[in-house]
Copies of this chain bind each other. A is one copy, B any other.
Amino acid sequence: MSDPIYDRVALIGLGLIASSMALAMRRDGLAGEIVGTARSAETRDTARALGLCDRVVDTAEAAVRGADLVVLCTPVGAMGELAARIAPLLDPGATLSDVGSVKRAVVDALQPHLPAGVHLIPAHPLAGTEQSGPQAGFAELFRNRWCLMTPAPDIDPTALARYRRLWDAMGARTDLMDPDHHDLVLAVTSHAPHLIAYTMVGVADDLRRVTDTEVINYSAAGFRDFTRIAASDPTMWRDVFLANRDATLDILGRFTEELFALQRAIRTGDGEMLHDYFTRTRAIRRGIIEAGQDTAAPDFGRVPTVP
Contacts and interface: CB of A to CB of B under 8 A. Distances in A.
Interface of A: 77, 126, 128-131, 136, 138, 140-141, 143-144, 146, 148, 184-186, 188-207, 209-210, 212-232, 234-235, 237-239, 241-242, 245, 248-249, 251-252, 254-256, 258-259, 262-263, 266-267, 269, 271, 274-275, 277-288, 291, 293-295, 298-307
Given A129-B303, A131-B298, A235-B275, A252 B245 contact: no
B212 A184 contact: no
Contacts of A262: 195, 198-199
A229 B214 CA distance: 21
A212 B189 CA distance: 11
A146 B239 CA distance: 38
B193 A255 contact: no
B304 A138 contact: yes
A222 B256 CA distance: 17
A190 B221 contact: yes
Contacts of A278: 198, 230, 232, 234, 237-238
A146 B41 CA distance: 44
Contact of A294 (B148, B210, B228, B269): B228
B301 A221 contact: no
21 contacts: A126-B220, A128-B220, A130-B298, A144-B307, A146-B218, A148-B218, A186-B220, A188-B203, A188-B207, A188-B215, A188-B223, A202-B277, A205-B283, A207-B254, A212-B284, A213-B291, A219-B293, A245-B266, A249-B263, A252-B259, A300-B302
